C-alpha cells in the first residue's frame, strides 16, 4: 500500500505520525501545515488544479483515496437537493430513472465531464422542483424526530427494566436472609429431625425460584405518569366520537315575527320594490362577513315598523 | 327585536306620573335615611334637595352630558350618546343625585355606553376627555362602572330611534311621492337632540319617536306626510291610528314643553348638594377614603395598624403604571 503523503511538501505518515491530510471540493489533498501556509488569507487556488478554494471548506480526509472523498462530498451536496422519495413518483420505473440521473450527475461532476452542462441541469432541476425539495427537507426533519422519539422510548424501557431488576434483586436478597433466619430458628427451637427440616426448606426455596421465573416481562413505558401516552405507540387516531343519546326530533316552526306594528316587506320585496336603491351597497369586507345591503335595509325597515301600535298601559314599566 | 326587549318590558313606562312617583320615592327614602345628618333646627327641605330641585339638577347634567359627548375625541357615533342618555335616566329613576353625584354617574354612563355600542376607547383615552385629575377620574369611572350596571339591572341593550328613522326614510323614498326626503335630516337631528332632554325615551317606543321626529321635520319643511302614515303605514290597521297620533302628539309636546334649567338656580342646588350628599359616596370625603381603605385591608387581610396604606398612594401607584405603559 502506498504511503499517505502530502503532494506538496511530501511529508509522509511515517515521518510525521501526526500528519493530517485535508481535502477540499476539488478532491486534491494537502497536509494541515500546507493548508495553513497556502490559505493564510482565507482563500486561494489549489496548487494542483488551480481551482479557487476557500480555506474553511477544507475538511479532514476520511478515505484514503481523495477521489472517494470528493465523490462523498459531491454526493452529499447533490442529495441535499435531489431529495425526492419513491412516494413522489407515479411508478417504480420513474423512480429508477430519477436515481440513475442522480448517479449520472455525480459521476459527471466527479470526473469533470460536462461540468457546466451538469451544473445547468442541477440549477434547472432546483428551479422546477423548489417546492418538493423544501417539503422533503422538512420531512427529513420529521423522520429524524420520530427516530429520536423511538430511541427515547427504548431508553425509558431499558431504565424501567433495570429498575425492576434491581428491585427484584434486593427483594430476593431480603427473602433469602429471612429464609435463612427462619431455618436457623426452626433448627434451634423445633423438636423435628434436623435433616428433615433442611430438606423441607430447600424444597420450598426451589419452588419459589420456579415461581419467580414465571414473572411477566417488564412492561414498556409508553405513557407519562399522568397517563398521557407519548411516542409512536400513542394512538394516532382521534378520540372515539362519543355516541350521543338521541333526543326528541327538532320540530321546525316557522318564525312569526311579533312586531306590534305593520308588517315589514319581505326580503324579496326589498329588491323588487326598490327599497334597496335607497341604501348604500355593502363593501366587499361586509359581504365577506355575510352582511348584505338587503339585510341592513330589512332591519332598518323592521325596526321602523316595530311597536308603532304601542299604546302605554298602566303598570307596564317596573324599572327594576 | 324591540318588541321582546328588556327596554320595552322593563324600561318603558305608562306615563310621566309614574316616573315622577319613582323619583319622589327615592327622594323621600334618602331623606328618611339621612335625617340625622340634617341640622336639628330648621326645615328638612332647606337641607335636602326637593324632588323638583333634583330634576332641575339632572336636567343641567343632561346638558353637560351632551356637551361632553360632542367634544369627545375621537368623535363618537350618535347611538353612544343615545345609549348614555338612557343609562343616565334609568339610573336616576332608582337613585337620587344626593346618593350618587350626577357628575360621576355621567362619565360612567358614557363609558359604559361606549363599550355597549362597540365604540372602542380605552379608559386612558376616555379620561383624556375629562378635565382635571385624570387618575382620580379613572378611579371614579371604574369604581362606579359595576354599580351603574347593577343599577341598570344588567339590561344594557338600548334601542335608539336612529335606525327606525333610517328605515322610515328608506320607506318614504320608496313608497311615497315626496321629493328629496333627505332635506328633512337637519330638522330630524335637532328634534332628536332635544328629545333626549325629555323623558320620551322612557315613555314611547323608538319607532314612535322616530316617526314623530320625521313628521315634525316634515311640518318644518311645509311638507305633509299624513297620507304616508294613513294610506301606507296604517292601511292594514286603521283602528290603531289614534294611538299613534296620540303618541306623536305627546312626544312633540314633551319637546315643546322642555325648558332648559336656570343656571343660577342650578348653582344654588349644587351648593346645597355638597352639604347633603351621601358622604359615603363622595370620593373627596374622609368617610369615603376610610371606607375604601377598610375595603382594601379587608380584602388583603392586612393588619389594621398598617395605616400607611392611603388612597393617595393608590392613585400615585396607578399614575406610575400609566407612565410605564
Three-state DSSP at B270 gives helix
The single residue listed with the C-alpha cell 304601542 is A310
Range of the domain at A282: 267-305
Residue from the list A260, A275, A309 with its beta carbon closest to the beta carbon of B174: A275
Look at B243 and A275 and tell me if their CB atoms are within 8 Å: no
**Alpha-carbon gap, residue B59 to B43, rounded angstroms:** 25
CB A258 within 8 A of CB B3: yes
Look at A275 and B202 and tell me if their CB atoms are within 8 Å: no
Cell representation of residue B23 = 323619583
| Statement: residue A22 has pLDDT above 90 | no
Look at residue A301 and tell me if it is in a domain: yes
Q: Which residue has the higher pLDDT, B10 or A230?
A: B10
Which among B107, B32, B31, B104 has a CA at the least distance from the CA of B69? B107
The residue among B132, B151, B170 that closes a domain is B151
Q: Which residues of chain B from 12 to 51 reach within 8 Å of chain A, CB to CB? A: 12-15, 18, 22
- Whether residue B253 is found in the same domain as residue B133: no
Q: Which of A175-184, B38-47, B73-82, B142-151 is predicted with the least confidence, judged by mean pLDDT?
A: B38-47
Which of the residues B155, B171, B232, B248 would you substitute to probe the A interface, choosing the one with the greatest number of A C-beta atoms within 10 Å? B171
**Alpha-carbon gap, residue B201 to B82, rounded angstroms:** 9
- Whether residue B51 is found in the same domain as residue B114: yes
CATH number at residue B78: 1.10.472.10
Look at residue A102 and tell me if it is in a domain: no
Number of domains into which chain B is organized: 2
Q: Which of A32-46, A113-127, B288-302 is predicted with the least confidence, judged by mean pLDDT?
A: B288-302
Look at residue B311 and tell me if it is in a domain: no
- Whether residue B100 is found in the same domain as residue B139: yes
- Whether residue B18 is found in the same domain as residue B135: yes
> How many alpha carbons fall within 13 Å on the CB side of residue B56?
17
Number of domains into which chain A is organized: 3
Look at residue B313 and tell me if it is in a domain: no
CATH number at residue A56: 3.30.40.10
Q: Which of A295-309, B117-131, B238-252, B285-299 is predicted with the least confidence, judged by mean pLDDT?
A: B285-299
| Statement: residue A133 has pLDDT above 70 | yes
- Whether residue B68 is found in the same domain as residue B172: no
Look at residue A162 and tell me if it is in a domain: yes
Burial class (CB in 10 A: 0-12, 13-18, 19+), B312: exposed
Q: How would residue B92 be classed by pLDDT, with cut points 50, 70 and 90? A: very high
Look at residue A227 and tell me if it is in a domain: no
Look at A278 and B174 and tell me if their CB atoms are within 8 Å: yes
Omega of the bond prior to B74 within 30 degrees of 0, cis?
yes
User: Looking at residue A23, what is its pLDDT?
Assistant: 84
User: Looking at residue B319, what is its pLDDT?
Assistant: 41
The residue among B203, B236, B257 that closes a domain is B257
**Alpha-carbon gap, residue A293 to B135, rounded angstroms:** 44
| Statement: residue B301 has pLDDT above 60 | no
- Whether residue B104 is found in the same domain as residue B174: no
User: Looking at residue B305, what is its pLDDT?
Assistant: 45
- Whether residue B101 is found in the same domain as residue B145: yes
CB atoms under 10 Å from CB of B13, counted, come to: 23
Q: Which residue has the higher pLDDT, A20 or A314?
A: A20
User: Looking at residue B310, what is its pLDDT?
Assistant: 43
The residue among A10, A37, A61 that closes a domain is A61
Look at residue A312 and tell me if it is in a domain: no
Q: Which residues pair with A21 in a beta bridge?
A: A31
CB A109 within 8 A of CB A74: yes
Look at A307 and B2 and tell me if their CB atoms are within 8 Å: yes
The residue among A193, A213, A233 that closes a domain is A213
* Mean pLDDT of the region A208-225: 64
Look at residue B83 and tell me if it is in a domain: yes
Range of the domain at B172: 162-257
Q: Which residues of chain A from 256 to 295 reach within 8 Å of chain B, CB to CB? A: 257-263, 273-275, 277-279
Question: How many Å is the maximal CA-CA distance in chain A?
Answer: 119
Which among B12, B10, B67 has a CA at the least distance from the CA of B201? B12
Look at B170 and A297 and tell me if their CB atoms are within 8 Å: yes
Cell representation of residue B58 = 339632572
Look at residue A195 and tell me if it is in a domain: yes
* ipTM exceeds 0.95, yes or no: no
Look at A310 and B168 and tell me if their CB atoms are within 8 Å: no
Look at residue A166 and tell me if it is in a domain: yes
The residue among B128, B151, B174 that closes a domain is B151
* Mean pLDDT of the region B54-74: 93
CB B221 within 8 A of CB B187: yes
Which of the residues A294, A306, A315 would you substitute to probe the B interface, choosing the one with the greatest number of B C-beta atoms within 10 Å? A306
Provide, as residue numbers in chain A, all residues whose Cβ is less than 8 Å from the Cβ of B212: none
The single residue listed with the C-alpha cell 322593563 is B10
Number of CB pairs < 8 Å for A and B? 121
Amino acid at each position: 500500500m502506498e504511503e499517505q503523503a502530502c503532494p506538496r511538501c511530501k511529508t509522509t505518515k511515517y515521518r510525521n505520525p501526526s500528519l493530517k491530510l485535508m481535502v477540499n471540493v476539488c478532491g486534491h489533498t494537502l497536509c494541515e501545515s500546507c493548508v495553513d501556509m497556502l490559505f493564510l488569507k482565507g482563500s486561494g487556488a489549489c496548487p494542483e488544479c488551480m481551482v479557487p478554494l476557500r480555506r474553511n471548506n477544507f475538511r479532514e480526509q476520511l478515505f484514503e483515496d481523495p477521489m472517494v472523498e470528493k465523490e462523498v462530498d459531491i454526493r452529499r451536496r447533490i442529495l441535499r437537493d435531489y431529495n425526492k422519495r419513491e412516494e413522489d413518483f407515479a411508478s417504480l420505473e420513474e423512480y429508477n430513472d430519477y436515481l440513475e440521473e442522480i448517479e449520472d450527475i455525480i459521476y459527471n461532476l466527479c470526473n469533470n465531464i460536462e461540468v457546466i452542462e451538469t451544473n445547468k441541469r442541477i440549477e434547472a432541476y432546483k428551479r422546477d422542483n423548489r417546492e418538493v425539495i423544501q417539503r422533503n427537507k422538512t420531512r427529513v426533519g420529521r423522520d429524524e424526530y420520530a427516530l429520536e422519539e423511538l430511541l427515547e422510548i427504548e431508553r425509558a424501557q431499558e431504565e424501567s427494566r433495570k429498575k425492576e431488576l434491581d428491585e427484584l434483586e434486593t427483594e430476593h436478597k431480603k427473602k433469602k436472609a429471612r429464609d435463612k433466619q427462619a431455618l436457623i430458628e426452626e433448627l434451634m427451637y423445633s423438636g423435628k429431625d434436623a435433616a428433615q427440616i433442611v430438606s423441607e426448606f430447600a424444597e420450598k426455596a426451589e419452588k419459589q425460584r420456579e415461581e419467580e421465573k414465571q414473572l411477566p416481562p417488564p412492561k414498556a413505558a409508553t405513557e407519562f405518569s399522568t397517563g398521557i401516552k407519548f411516542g409512536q405507540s400513542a394512538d394516532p387516531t382521534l378520540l372515539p366520537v362519543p355516541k350521543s343519546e338521541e333526543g326528541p326530533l327538532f320540530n321546525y316552526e316557522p318564525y312569526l315575527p311579533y312586531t306590534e306594528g305593520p308588517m315589514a316587506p319581505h326580503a324579496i320585496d326589498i329588491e323588487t320594490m326598490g327599497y334597496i336603491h335607497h341604501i348604500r351597497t355593502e363593501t366587499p369586507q361586509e359581504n365577506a362577513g355575510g352582511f348584505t345591503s338587503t339585510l341592513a335595509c330589512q332591519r332598518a325597515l323592521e325596526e321602523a315598523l316595530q311597536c308603532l301600535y304601542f299604546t302605554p298601559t298602566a303598570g307596564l314599566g317596573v324599572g327594576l | 327585536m324591540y318588541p321582546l326587549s328588556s327596554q320595552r318590558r322593563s324600561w318603558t313606562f305608562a306615563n310621566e306620573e309614574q316616573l315622577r312617583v319613582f323619583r319622589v320615592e327615592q327622594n323621600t327614602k334618602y331623606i328618611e335615611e339621612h335625617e340625622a345628618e340634617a341640622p336639628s333646627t330648621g326645615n328638612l327641605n332647606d337641607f335636602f334637595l326637593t324632588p323638583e330641585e333634583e330634576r332641575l339638577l339632572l336636567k343641567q347634567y343632561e346638558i353637560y352630558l351632551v356637551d361632553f359627548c360632542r367634544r369627545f375625541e375621537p368623535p363618537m357615533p350618535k347611538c353612544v350618546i343615545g345609549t348614555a342618555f338612557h343609562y343616565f335616566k334609568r339610573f336616576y329613576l332608582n337613585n337620587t343625585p344626593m346618593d350618587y353625584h350626577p357628575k360621576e354617574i355621567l362619565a360612567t354612563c358614557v363609558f359604559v355606553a361606549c363599550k355597549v355600542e362597540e365604540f372602542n376607547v380605552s379608559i386612558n383615552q376616555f379620561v383624556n376627555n375629562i378635565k382635571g385629575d385624570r387618575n382620580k377620574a379613572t378611579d371614579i369611572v371604574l369604581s362606579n362602572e359595576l354599580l351603574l350596571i347593577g343599577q341598570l339591572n344588567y339590561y344594557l341593550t338600548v334601542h335608539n330611534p336612529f335606525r327606525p328613522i333610517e328605515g322610515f326614510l328608506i320607506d318614504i323614498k320608496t313608497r311615497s311621492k315626496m321629493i328629496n326626503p333627505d332635506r328633512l335630516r337637519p330638522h330630524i337631528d335637532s328634534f332628536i337632540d332635544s328629545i333626549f332632554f325629555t323623558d320620551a325615551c322612557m315613555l314611547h317606543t323608538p319607532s314612535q319617536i322616530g316617526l314623530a321626529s320625521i313628521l315634525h321635520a316634515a311640518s318644518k319643511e311645509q311638507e305633509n306626510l299624513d297620507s304616508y302614515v294613513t294610506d301606507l303605514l296604517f292601511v292594514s290597521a286603521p283602528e290603531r291610528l289614534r294611538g299613534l297620533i296620540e303618541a306623536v302628539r305627546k312626544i312633540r309636546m314633551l319637546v315643546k314643553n322642555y325648558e332648559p334649567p336656570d343656571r343660577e338656580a342650578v348653582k344654588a342646588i349644587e351648593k346645597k348638594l355638597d352639604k347633603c350628599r351621601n358622604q359615603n359616596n363622595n370620593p373627596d370625603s374622609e368617610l369615603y377614603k376610610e371606607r375604601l381603605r377598610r375595603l382594601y385591608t379587608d380584602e388583603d387581610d392586612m393588619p389594621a395598624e398598617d395605616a400607611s396604606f392611603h388612597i393617595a398612594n393608590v392613585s400615585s401607584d396607578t399614575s406610575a403604571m400609566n407612565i410605564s405603559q
